[in-house]
Amino acid sequence: MTQTRFSPSIPSRPVYSGLVSCGSALSIMVADEAGAAALTDLARSDASVMDKAHLLLIGVSQATVQELSALTPRSLSQSPTVQGAEEIFDALIAHAAIGTLLFCAGSEGLIGQFSARAMRFGLSPDAIQSEHRGSVARRMQCVHCKGITEDVTTDPFICGHCGLTLFVRDHFSRRLGAFQGVCVDAETPGDIPETVEIRP
């Protein structure tokens, strides 16, 4: 599995330029099952990236855990859920030394969410690298009720909180780590376009 190529879009839509070694820098690396392959590829390009790397794996298989353990990172944590991972992440970043880098690999939701979380802890956007792998599902904020719906794969979709039918914008907030969803039938209630799969 390789990096996703996205269609050209508007300037607020994030681009994920891929993970590049900064040598044996202090780092936190967050990945899901698909993103774990990006960490493996990164370590293959320069094994020293793992010297001071704290890995945080979310919802991955035991085979993947074993594969990444074999890269001998400084530490490896895992959580079956994003919620659990957030607690581990907060502890890691709260104790991170100045100059620590963040590497995110996997879905857009994971990248957006953990980048935003790191920035709230004061990490500079320059210190964050990301690589998209796997599903093109999006993390969406409903502009009406502000609720976040994870893993949105269709346009339009139904807000998991207020139940409005929302269309998927490319407008993205790095602070929220989410795309914007806006009521699709606001002007003509009930007139809902055909549902299509989100494309990269």
- Applying CB under 8 A, the residues found at the interface with another protein are 10-13, 141, 143-144, 146, 164, 169-176, 180, 182-183, 186-189
Which residues, at least 6 apart from 84, have a Cβ–Cβ distance to it below 8 Å? none
CA distances from 156 to 137, 152, 174 (A): 13, 9, 22
Q: Is 74 or 144 the residue whose CB approaches another protein more closely?
A: 144
Q: Is 47 or 145 the residue whose CB approaches another protein more closely?
A: 145
| 80 neighbors 59 (Cβ within 8 angstroms) | yes
CB of 12 to another protein, least distance (A): 4
Q: Is 1 or 145 the residue whose CB approaches another protein more closely?
A: 145
Q: Is 26 or 176 the residue whose CB approaches another protein more closely?
A: 176
Rg, C-alpha atoms of the chain = 18
Q: What are 48's two structure tokens? A: 């020293």
CB of 181 to another protein, least distance (A): 10
The helix/strand/coil state of 140 is strand
CB of 186 to another protein, least distance (A): 3
Alpha-carbon span 80 to 78, nearest angstrom = 7
CB of 179 to another protein, least distance (A): 10
